[in-house]
Chains A and B, each alone.
Chain A
Amino acid sequence: MLAYALRRLLISIPLLILASILVFYFLRLTTDPAQALRNPRMTAEQVQEVKHAMGLDKSGPEQYTSWLTNFVKGDWGLSFDYQAPVAPIIKARFFNTLKLMGIAVLLSFLLAIAIGVYSAVRPYSKLDYTFTGMSFLGISMPIFWFALLIQLILGFYLQQWLGRDEPLFFTSGMHRPGDPTFHLIDFVRHATLPSLALTIQLVAGWSRYERSSMMEVMNADFMRTARAKGLKSRSVIFKHALRNALIPLVTVIGIDVGALFGGLIVTEVIFSWPGMGSLFTSALAVGDYPIVLPWLMITAGLVILLNLVADLLVGILDPRVRYG
């Protein structure tokens, strides 16, 4: 097991480095970090000064290495727009996003298993068809439209229907204005709608995948053997089948995390959630590349990390993988 873990870890590191190189060059190629220099008010000396301060007078690989060393040290430069260090800005947002993503992934995972297992055990039943139908709808609808509808229906219309002064589920922000300390119920009321928007999209895909995995597993030889041995149906399902069906789902979550950020960006923008996603769009919109570069690094790193965790989990669940 240890060897397996080490192997996976070792592969992750060059991947991370490769990611950093590609991200760095990609941004240098496609963006203009010196756009502020196109200012006729500056003298030639001033232009040189700024170039030097930004390290733009060094060669490509030199720039990369100096950036990388700074990045690892925690110095992520100054934001053009905020005129303040980038690192604290991203850090604050990061935990906010983590909260949202954590809830959504956890909920989706549980729901996907519940729905997938049920559908596999009772295939082609009415409920199965309903779930399948809803899943198709879920993966076919543009998430931003869906989020807007949730905001309207469960935010505004629900409030009207309940006749409340305040909405039951808040439609923007992470906490009450002016009260950034953490209150559980308040947080839940703010997080419900955005998590719901994310969850439904995830569950739609994951539950179908889980269903087909479960069905495959249940029809597999070893299951028939277990049943033939006389084990009770329920225990057979939950001990053997589920364990095996969890494997593909865990792997898929690893793969999907990268795509998850897409839905996250949109959801955060619509619900004004102060997370990484909304930071990215606003920074990108104004061309604040000192924020964009570390952002890409962090998310790439996060995805690689989560994939590693997924791989390790699969290793625990599926002995074949460790020794194969």
Chain B
Amino acid sequence: MKQRKYFFMALLLVLAIVATACPKTEDPGPEPTKTAAEEGKPGGTLVFAAEQYPKCLNFVTSCRSASWLHYTALLPTMARFLTADADNNYKATDLITKIPTLENGLVTESPFTVTYELNPKAKWDDNTPITGEDVKFTWQAILTSSKSVIKIGYDKIEDVTTEGNKVKIAFKEPYAPWRDLFNMTHYILKADAFAGKPDVSDAMQTSIGFAGGPFKLESFSESEMVLVRNDNYYGKKAFLDKVIFKKIESQTSELTTFKTGEIQGFFPQPTTELVEQVKAIPGGEIGVKPGTVYEGLWFNLDKFPVNDKAVRTALLYGLDRQKAIDTIVKPVDPKATVNHCLWNVPQNAGGKWCNKDFPTKPDTAKATKALEDGGWKKGSDGIYAKGGQRLVVPIATTAGNVGREQFQTILQAQAKEIGIEIKADNSDATTLFQTRLPARDFVVGMFAQVASPDPTVTTNLHKDLIPSKDAPDGENYYGWKNDEASKLMRDSDKEVDDKERIKQFQEMGKLMAEDVMSIPLYAKPQILVYNSEKLGGDFNFNAGQLAFSDLLRTWYFKKAA
């Protein structure tokens, strides 16, 4: 009797499910927008996976270190002066009429000022105009908020003044990387949204409340955020009604949900099987872009054994980096090659900041000679030793990143052949970047840096900017103390003439290579996977900080549901 009861209950449940399966109507699904009539490009709701979903929204505080915060909630919704095109050259946004240069007079050398001419139509999503007061407020917020981090550059601003639709930023001294301010990872805040109080430390935790871009953040929860089209946007409006960023942390789940259509795009880490798997999915399209994000072996020059230049030289010539790249990276990016410059990439800004400073081919003879000249002797186990210490090099990379771990394994095998023992010393990404790196608790780090269109490396490499309580903004985790290079860094930060600046960076590159202060690897392919059967628009994304966000406003659904 009881058995029968359960059986019927189960049957009812199954029938209920089947009943929902039959009518193929989609419940709250995409509907054509106003623009559909104009251009025949339906809007609809895009669901995009976020592999590293941001935990909070405030880009002035430490939340900003999450790169996905920018891709998802900020870049499509915030106002900024400049963006970057697909080749990572600076480009004007809708907010300004033209890029300030020396030629058009909007940049003056002494005193050093930059003037942005605002688009007279520029307004926030509530139709109030975007003005220089907002820019000034932002400057104050970044400088004075108690929880603000990384204020470099903003402390070089003397004042921000407004004259009509012109916003003049006056600097205390020439500051060459001015283009990064208010554009790359800091954006323009709406002064009215904060009641004029520039300490925004506790604001913007789970909502933003204003928008200056083609989209607006409607809601932000722990597992998904919803952006809606900003219908008051003063420039070319977006087609999509909604963009939902959904937290999906594993690539396996991303692939599965992409297959079933639960998501229409994602931005994965490169793994060797990825291209095959995406191509096997109907409608699966994969766009790969090398550039502006580059992997390297970054030395902590104060730690044994890489404090010994002989060891660094041996690693440079002893490892066959191209072979490792062929195995791990080429399946995703067939053109992947060893990078020949250190703190930049050939694909960035036409390669003008990247010179052929570093050798790219292995030379085991040179490696061996360097070690032996440096006093290292091969032990009975085939590994070099000096002064009773074996040549063991711990390399720290992000645990769980299959591609990197495999790369590490290949380097291990190669190093063994020339008598160096590489040890895996991995941590999860958060621990590595937020704890170990600032504490300089690593010997060699293997991870990626992001190149902004401006080549400045001062915070990362200046001898006075090794992180300490005296230099809290310093990011010279590597401990490079090269006087000549440091001077060049300061000079180039003030050098407004690009030609001169290029010469200075060439010098710096030579010095980096002479010291073998780190070893370049390759330009990390940035990958966008999207469903080309369902989506149309511009998919030629920028391979740097801005990734695909700028393109969101061009995307549309090929057919309404």
Contact present between A and B (CB < 8 A): yes
Which residues of A are found within 8 Å of B434, using beta-carbon distances?
36
Q: Which residues from 531 to 561 on chain B have a C-beta closer than 8 Å to any C-beta of chain A?
A: 561
Q: Report which residue of A270, A282, A285 has the largest number of chain B beta carbons within 10 angstroms of its beta carbon.
A: A285
Q: Which residues from 335 to 380 on chain B have a C-beta closer than 8 Å to any C-beta of chain A?
A: none
Contact B250 A92 (CB under 8 A): no
Contact B467 A172 (CB under 8 A): no
Given A178-B242, A270-B253, A272-B248, also A39-B56 (CB < 8 A):
no
Question: In the complex, A170→B257 CA distance in Å?
Answer: 8
Contact B430 A286 (CB under 8 A): yes
Contact B257 A189 (CB under 8 A): no
Question: In the complex, A272→B247 CA distance in Å?
Answer: 8
Contact A148 B472 (CB under 8 A): no
Question: In the complex, A179→B242 CA distance in Å?
Answer: 12
Instruction: Please tell me if B110 contacts chain A, counting CB pairs below 8 Å.
Output: no
Looking at the assembled complex, report how far the CB atom of B250 sits from the nearest CB atom of chain A, in whole angstroms: 7
Contact A166 B221 (CB under 8 A): no
Contact A40 B467 (CB under 8 A): yes
Instruction: Please tell me if B498 contacts chain A, counting CB pairs below 8 Å.
Output: no
Contact A41 B469 (CB under 8 A): yes
Instruction: Please tell me if A263 contacts chain B, counting CB pairs below 8 Å.
Output: no
Instruction: Please tell me if B45 contacts chain A, counting CB pairs below 8 Å.
Output: yes
Listed stretches B271-279, B293-301, B386-394, B435-443; interface member: B435-443
Instruction: Please tell me if B244 contacts chain A, counting CB pairs below 8 Å.
Output: yes
Contact A189 B260 (CB under 8 A): no
Instruction: Please tell me if B428 contacts chain A, counting CB pairs below 8 Å.
Output: yes
Contact A89 B244 (CB under 8 A): no
Contact A178 B45 (CB under 8 A): yes
Interface residues on B, range: 35 or more
- Encoded as 1 (CB less than 8 Å from any A CB) or 0, chain B from 228 to 254 comes to 000000000000001010111110110
**Complex: chain A residue closest to B250, CB-CB:** A269
Given A155-B256, A166-B260, A173-B223, also A38-B439 (CB < 8 A):
yes
Instruction: Please tell me if B195 contacts chain A, counting CB pairs below 8 Å.
Output: no
Given A165-B261, A185-B16, A186-B27, also A177-B256 (CB < 8 A):
no
**Complex: chain A residue closest to B257, CB-CB:** A172
Contact A178 B16 (CB under 8 A): no
Given A41-B472, A172-B256, also A83-B63 (CB < 8 A):
yes
Instruction: Please tell me if B259 contacts chain A, counting CB pairs below 8 Å.
Output: yes
Contact A152 B256 (CB under 8 A): yes
Instruction: Select which of A92, A172, A285 is within 8 A of B253 by beta carbon.
Output: A172
Contact A84 B256 (CB under 8 A): no
Question: In the complex, A156→B9 CA distance in Å?
Answer: 27
Question: In the complex, A285→B401 CA distance in Å?
Answer: 13
Instruction: Please tell me if B521 contacts chain A, counting CB pairs below 8 Å.
Output: no
Contact B259 A43 (CB under 8 A): no
Q: Report which residue of B16, B248, B253 has the largest number of chain A beta carbons within 10 angstroms of its beta carbon.
A: B253
Contact A177 B246 (CB under 8 A): yes
Q: Report which residue of B24, B246, B438, B469 has the largest number of chain A beta carbons within 10 angstroms of its beta carbon.
A: B469
Given A165-B24, A282-B249, also A180-B438 (CB < 8 A):
no
Instruction: Please tell me if A159 contacts chain B, counting CB pairs below 8 Å.
Output: yes
**Complex: chain A residue closest to B226, CB-CB:** A178
- Encoded as 1 (CB less than 8 Å from any A CB) or 0, chain B from 392 to 415 comes to 000000001000000000000000
Q: Which residues from 166 to 213 on chain A have a C-beta closer than 8 Å to any C-beta of chain B?
A: 166-168, 170-173, 176-180, 183, 185-186, 188-189, 192
Which residues of A are found within 8 Å of B224, using beta-carbon distances?
173, 177-178
**Complex: chain A residue closest to B66, CB-CB:** A81
Given A38-B435, A176-B28, A286-B428, also A189-B20 (CB < 8 A):
yes
Question: In the complex, A166→B472 CA distance in Å?
Answer: 51
- Encoded as 1 (CB less than 8 Å from any A CB) or 0, chain B from 1 to 40 comes to 1110011010000001100110010111000000000000
Question: In the complex, A114→B8 CA distance in Å?
Answer: 12
Instruction: Select which of A40, A84, A282, A285 is within 8 A of B440 by beta carbon.
Output: A40
Which residues of B are found within 8 Å of A285, using beta-carbon distances?
400, 428, 430
Instruction: Select which of A39, A168, A282, A286 is within 8 A of B439 by beta carbon.
Output: A39
Given A114-B6, A118-B3, also A177-B45 (CB < 8 A):
yes
Which residues of B are found within 8 Å of A156, using beta-carbon distances?
256, 259-260
Instruction: Please tell me if A10 contacts chain B, counting CB pairs below 8 Å.
Output: no
Looking at the assembled complex, report how far the CB atom of A289 sits from the nearest CB atom of chain B, in whole angstroms: 12
Which residues of B are found within 8 Å of A110, using beta-carbon distances?
6, 9
Instruction: Select which of A81, A111, A179 is within 8 A of B55 by beta carbon.
Output: A81
Instruction: Select which of A151, A192, A274 is within 8 A of B17 by beta carbon.
Output: A192
Question: In the complex, A75→B554 CA distance in Å?
Answer: 46
Contact B261 A82 (CB under 8 A): no
Question: In the complex, A257→B253 CA distance in Å?
Answer: 27
Which residues of A are found within 8 Å of B428, using beta-carbon distances?
285-287
Given A166-B26, A179-B28, also A242-B256 (CB < 8 A):
no
Instruction: Please tell me if B146 contacts chain A, counting CB pairs below 8 Å.
Output: no
- Encoded as 1 (CB less than 8 Å from any B CB) or 0, chain A from 104 to 140 comes to 0000001101100110000000000000000000000
Question: In the complex, A81→B16 CA distance in Å?
Answer: 41
Instruction: Please tell me if B47 contacts chain A, counting CB pairs below 8 Å.
Output: yes
Instruction: Please tell me if B101 contacts chain A, counting CB pairs below 8 Å.
Output: no
Which residues of A are found within 8 Å of B55, using beta-carbon distances?
81-84
Which residues of A are found within 8 Å of B126, using beta-carbon distances?
none
Instruction: Select which of A166, A170, A177 is within 8 A of B244 by beta carbon.
Output: A177
Instruction: Please tell me if B431 contacts chain A, counting CB pairs below 8 Å.
Output: yes
Contact A148 B252 (CB under 8 A): yes
Given A83-B63, A172-B253, also A39-B17 (CB < 8 A):
no
Given A177-B45, A177-B224, A282-B249, also A287-B430 (CB < 8 A):
yes
Which residues of B are found within 8 Å of A39, using beta-carbon distances?
435, 438-439, 467
**Complex: chain B residue closest to A88, CB-CB:** B222
Given A38-B441, A172-B253, also A238-B2 (CB < 8 A):
yes
Instruction: Please tell me if B449 contacts chain A, counting CB pairs below 8 Å.
Output: no
Contact A167 B205 (CB under 8 A): no
Instruction: Please tell me if B262 contacts chain A, counting CB pairs below 8 Å.
Output: yes
Instruction: Please tell me if A164 contacts chain B, counting CB pairs below 8 Å.
Output: yes
Contact A171 B253 (CB under 8 A): yes
Question: In the complex, A170→B24 CA distance in Å?
Answer: 15
**Complex: chain A residue closest to B246, CB-CB:** A177
Instruction: Please tell me if B468 contacts chain A, counting CB pairs below 8 Å.
Output: yes
Instruction: Please tell me if A53 contacts chain B, counting CB pairs below 8 Å.
Output: no
Looking at the assembled complex, report how far the CB atom of A91 sits from the nearest CB atom of chain B, in whole angstroms: 11
Give 12 A-B pairs besides A41-B469, A167-B261, A173-B223 with Cβ atoms closer than 8 angstroms: A40-B469, A81-B430, A83-B55, A83-B205, A110-B6, A164-B24, A165-B24, A165-B261, A173-B246, A178-B45, A189-B20, A287-B431
Closest 5 CB pairs of A and B: A286-B430, A167-B260, A41-B472, A177-B244, A38-B439
15 A-B contacts, Cβ less than 8 Å apart?
A38-B435, A42-B469, A43-B469, A81-B55, A110-B6, A114-B7, A155-B260, A165-B24, A165-B261, A171-B262, A173-B224, A178-B224, A178-B244, A185-B16, A285-B400
Residues of A within 8 A of B (CB): 35-36, 38-43, 46, 81-84, 89, 92, 110-111, 113-114, 117-118, 148, 151-152, 155-156, 159, 162, 164-168, 170-173, 176-180, 183, 185-186, 188-189, 192, 234, 238, 242, 269-272, 274, 278, 282, 285-287
